[in-house]
Structure 1
Amino acid sequence: MNKKVITGVIVLLILASIIYYGIVLVLEYNSNLVLKESYENKDFNKMYNFFVLNNPLISDRTYLGGKSSPVTLMVVVDFESDTSKKFYYEKIPRIKELYIDSGQAKLYHKYYITPEEFDTKKGRFIYASAVQCYLGLGGEEIVEFHKTLFETAEKDILALTNSFVISREDFEECMNKNINNNPYKVIYEDMLETKMFKIQGPSIHIGIDGRDNTVLFGNPSISLINRSIRQKQIRLGI
C-alpha cells in the first residue's frame, strides 16, 4: 500500500473521529444542563472542575458553618439506606458540634438520586425536594429536618410543616412545582453526579473548597473523620 493511500486512510479516520465526537458533544450539550449553563455563562472553571476533575458541585447550595472556612464537608444522603440513617444520626450532630458550630468547616448536603427517580419524580427525589422546599421557605433546622425525614413515610411529608413551622400551603405548592417538571437545579446536579461519577450514599467528602476530596463511605468512625479533616487543616497550615 503506497503512502498516499495510507495518508488518505489516516485522514478519513481522523475526520470520522472528529465528526463522531462532535455529534456526541452536541447531544451531550443539549441534554446536560450543567454543561449548557456553564458554557453559556462562560464558566470554564466550573466546566473543568466538574467534567475533568469530577468534583461535585457545591457553589449554588446552602451550607452550614463558617463562611470563610476553606474546609468543606459534603455529606451524600441516601434516604432509603439504613446505614445512611445511622451515619446521619450518630455522626452529623458530632461533626456539627466539633467543626460547623465553631466555624472550622462548611457542611453541605447532597443526595443520592438515580436517573430513574429523577425522571419519574419518585422515591429519593421526593425527599430531596422536601429539603429544598424547606430551605426555600426559610427553614433553618437543617440537621433536625433531615433526621425527621428519615423517620417519615413519603405520604406523610406534608405533615412535617406542623413540626417545623412553615406554611403547609407554600410547602405543598413548592413540592408540586418540583414534581411537575420544574425541579430544583441542585437536585438535577445530584442526579447527574450519581449517574456520571457513581456518587454513593452514604458517604462524606472531605476537601478544600470542594476539591481534592477524601471520600469515606458507609458509617466511618468519628476518629477517622477527625483524622481526615485534620489532614486538610495541616495542608492549609491551620
Structure 2
Amino acid sequence: MSVRARNEEKAPLGEFMLQSFKEDQKEIEVRFPELNAAFVDDFQAKLDVVKDLESTLVYDTDEATVTKELYAEADAFNKEMNFLSSYFKGVGLATTSITKLKEKLVSRNIEGALLELKAVKQLARENKAALEGKGMKPDFPDVMDASYASMTEKNVLQNKIMDDRKDLVDANKADYDALYACVSTVAEKGKIVFDGSRKEEKYTITDVIKRMRAPKRKDDDDDNEE
C-alpha cells in the first residue's frame, strides 16, 4: 500500500533520501548521468530552503509531542469515565453523555469530547453527594475541570501548530514541490539501479516513511548512551 508523505515529513524524507543518494551517487550516475554532482548540490540547496522555512516555526514543543501528550491524557481520562459511568448507573443517572464523551475520545475528536465533558461535569456537580455515596471522590468534579483545561490547552496548541504549518506550506508550495521532485527522482532511479538488492528499500519512499514513523524503542536510546 502506498504511503503519502505529510508536509512535515518532506524535509526529513529529503534528508534520508539525500544521504542514501550521496552514498551511492557514483553508482547511480553510471546509469543516469544527469544525477551527477551538480544534481547533488541542487538537491541539497532545495532541502536547505525547506529546512530554513521550517525553522521559522518555533514552539516550545513540536506537533508530535503535543499530539502524543494530548492523546495520552485523553486515554487516561477515558478510563476514569468508566468509573464515573458506574457511579452514574448506581444513582439512576443516564450515562448517555458519558458514552458520547468516551466515543469522541476514542475517535480523537477532542473538540467534540470537550463539549460533551461540559454536560458530564454539570451532572456530576448537581448529583455530587449521591455520587460520592457510590464511590466518586469528593474532588473529582475539580479533577474534571483541570482535565478540561489541560486538554483544551493542548488541543488549541496542536491546532495552531497544524494551521501555522499549513499556512507555511501553502505560501511556499513551490519550494516543497521542488524538494519532493528531487526526492522522487532519486527514488525512481535508485530503485531501478538497485532492483532486487537490499539497497532498493532505501529508495522506496513508502518504506522510508514507514521507518520514519516507526515509534522509537527504549533500547534505541540505551544503545546511544555513552
After TM superposition, is the score higher than 0.5? no
- Which protein has the bigger helix share? 2
**TM-score w.r.t. length of structure 1:** 0.25
Look at both structures and tell me which one has the larger radius of gyration over its CA atoms: 2
**Higher relative contact order, chain-length normalized (CA < 8 Å, sep 6+):** 2
- Which protein has the bigger strand share? 1
**TM-score w.r.t. length of structure 2:** 0.26
